């Protein structure tokens, strides 16, 4: 697993075509596409491990414990692309669904309803940029309503390992533990300089993501952009006395502390003992924007979450909690409209990436790439 491998590093490049910030799977996909287009690439991450919120680490005596509860939207073109680059994808997953009360709903319908709800909220708030994005997501969800949901065999770790392997073919591996102080763009927007804890990196483009960015200046003058701090609150739960548990992923609708839950038992090592399960639970975000501190300790209590899962009939009444591991992952997110405004302001010096939804953005990236390949070369 990734935690057992040596920490990745690569020689610092003093000058590259494109420098990417962060190592989420989507950032790695953008970096890989840039490599296939012949660009020189550097990838920097302030963390000591790859993956961002997709990191698969160690907890409760297990390896490959996914840091958060992930879902890849049911986009056949996304699954096909991942398989083409060597990421094995599981067969149609019949053990995933949406749930309202005790009523199970096909996950494809659940996701369409979720996109529709977010679209309605953004329209009500007058956020038309977000409305357009959600309208596109809703349309795709409706178009793929009969498509099954699938997930990488081995989970997020498999996805990350394969993307890193593909990048290594081009001589690229992330430089970890690097703090980026700022990116200074030249006034003509033809490049810039990244000031980091390991020295300056000159670039033609800087990859700025909605959740992986840094302070920006234009010829030394501060460029202001708005971010919104949110917190993803997760629990890893080791439980037993639950032989009959068969679900792999469930998304809970309505009120309650739990937003989604994934059964990691088939992904982790060692395999949990007979009758035991390892679950990853994402809690619903608090109504305030206070970040992690706005959640009470009770919101993170494993016993309470197990009780809620029993009440939802996802766990049997005699389920016992053996151990819990808490994780709070904060994000300073640039909204879609603000990211587009930044990209327009910085021109060719910025490579924008929406990293809040892997499947949606990879779909858009694949379509842009196909369009570029279909365009006849000039001259």
Give pLDDT tens digits for 362-376.
988 888 877 665 544
| Fold equal for 2-58+155-227+334-374 and 93-150+229-332 | no
Task: Indicate the SS3 state at residue 223.
Answer: strand
Q: Which two tokens stand for residue 299?
A: 């919101």
pLDDT at 361: 87
Which of 54, 129, 44, 131 minimizes the C-alpha distance to 357?
A: 54
Q: Which of 112-116, 129-133, 236-240 has the lowest mean pLDDT?
A: 129-133
Q: Which of 3-7, 23-27, 122-126, 177-181 has the lowest mean pLDDT?
A: 3-7
What percentage of the chain has pLDDT greater than the value 90?
Answer: 65
Which of 280, 16, 52, 54 minimizes the C-alpha distance to 172?
A: 16
pLDDT at 316: 96
Task: Note whether 16 and 201 are within 8 A (CB).
Answer: yes
Cβ burial of 143 (10 Å; 0-12, 13-18, 19+) is exposed
pLDDT digits (tens, 9 = 90+) for 10-51: 445 578 999 999 999 999 999 999 999 999 999 999 999 999
Instruction: Calculate the CA 20 to chain-centre distance.
Output: 16
* Residue spans of beta strands (DSSP E) within the chain: 15-21, 41-45, 56-59, 62-66, 96-100, 103-105, 175-176, 180-185, 192-196, 199-209, 216-218, 221-223, 228-240, 249-252, 258-263, 277-283, 320-333, 350-353
The domains of the chain are located at: 2-58+155-227+334-374, 93-150+229-332
CB contact set of 158 (below 8 Å; sequence gap of 6+): 87, 88, 152
Q: Is the pLDDT of residue 289 over 50?
A: no
Q: Is the pLDDT of residue 70 over 80?
A: yes
pLDDT digits (tens, 9 = 90+) for 136-146: 888 988 999 99
pLDDT at 375: 46
What value does the mean pLDDT of the chain take? 87
pLDDT digits (tens, 9 = 90+) for 294-334: 444 455 689 999 999 999 999 999 999 999 999 888 889 99
CATH 3.50.50.60 fits 2-58+155-227+334-374, yes or no: yes
Q: 265-287 b/e with 16+ CB inside 10 Å = b?
A: bebbeeebeeebbbbbbbbbebe
Spatial distance between the Cα atoms of 337 and 306, rounded to a whole number of angstroms: 39
Q: Which of 8-12, 217-221, 234-238, 342-346 has the lowest mean pLDDT?
A: 8-12
Residue range 221-247: mean pLDDT, rounded:
92
Q: Is the pLDDT of residue 276 over 60?
A: yes
pLDDT at 53: 87
pLDDT at 294: 43
pLDDT digits (tens, 9 = 90+) for 74-104: 999 999 999 998 999 998 777 999 999 899 9
Q: Which two tokens stand for residue 214?
A: 């840094």
Task: Note whether 102 and 76 are within 8 A (CB).
Answer: no
Higher pLDDT, 168 or 133: 168
pLDDT at 356: 83
pLDDT at 117: 86
Spatial distance between the Cα atoms of 315 and 307, rounded to a whole number of angstroms: 9
pLDDT at 300: 65
Spatial distance between the Cα atoms of 35 and 40, rounded to a whole number of angstroms: 7
- Phi and psi, residue 277, nearest 5°: -140, 155
Q: Is the pLDDT of residue 133 over 80?
A: no
CB contact set of 226 (below 8 Å; sequence gap of 6+): 334, 335, 338
Higher pLDDT, 284 or 69: 69
Instruction: Report the top-level CATH class of 93-150+229-332.
Output: alpha beta
């Amino acid at each position: 697993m990734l935690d057992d491998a040596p920490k990745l590093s690569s020689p610092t490049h003093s000058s590259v075509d494109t420098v990417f910030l962060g190592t989420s799977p989507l950032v790695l996909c953008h970096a890989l596409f840039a490599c296939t287009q012949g660009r020189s690439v550097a990838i920097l991450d302030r963390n000591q491990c790859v993956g961002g919120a997709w990191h698969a680490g160690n907890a409760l005596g297990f390896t490959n414990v996914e840091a958060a509860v992930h879902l890849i939207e049911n986009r056949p073109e996304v699954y096909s692309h991942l398989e083409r680059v060597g990421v094995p994808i599981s067969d149609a997953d019949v053990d995933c669904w949406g749930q309202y009360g005790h009523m199970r709903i096909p996950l494809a319908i659940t996701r369409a309803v979720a996109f529709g709800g977010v679209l309605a909220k953004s329209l009500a708030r007058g956020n038309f940029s977000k409305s357009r994005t959600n309208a596109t997501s809703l349309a795709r969800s409706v178009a793929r309503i009969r498509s099954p949901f699938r997930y990488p065999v081995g989970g997020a770790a498999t996805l990350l390992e394969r993307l890193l392997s593909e990048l290594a073919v081009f001589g690229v591996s992330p430089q970890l533990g690097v703090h980026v102080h700022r990116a200074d763009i030249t006034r003509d927007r033809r490049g810039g300089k990244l000031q980091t804890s390991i020295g300056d990196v000159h670039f033609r483009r800087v990859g700025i993501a909605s959740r992986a960015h840094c302070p920006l200046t234009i010829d030394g003058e501060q460029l202001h952009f708005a971010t919104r701090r949110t917190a993803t609150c997760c629990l890893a739960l080791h439980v037993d006395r639950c032989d009959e548990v068969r679900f792999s992923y469930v998304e809970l609708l309505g009120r309650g502390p739990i937003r989604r839950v994934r059964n990691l038992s088939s992904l982790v090592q060692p395999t949990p003992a007979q009758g035991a399960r390892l679950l990853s639970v994402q809690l619903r975000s608090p109504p305030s924007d206070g970040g992690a501190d706005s959640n009470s300790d009770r919101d993170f209590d494993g016993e309470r979450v197990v009780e809620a899962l029993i009440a939802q009939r996802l766990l049997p009444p005699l389920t016992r909690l053996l151990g819990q591991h808490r994780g709070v992952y904060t994000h300073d997110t640039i909204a879609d409209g603000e990211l587009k405004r930044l990209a327009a302001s910085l021109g060719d010096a910025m490579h924008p990436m929406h990293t809040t939804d892997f499947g949606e953005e990879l779909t858009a990236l694949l379509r842009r790439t196909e369009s570029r390949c279909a365009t006849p070369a000039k001259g």
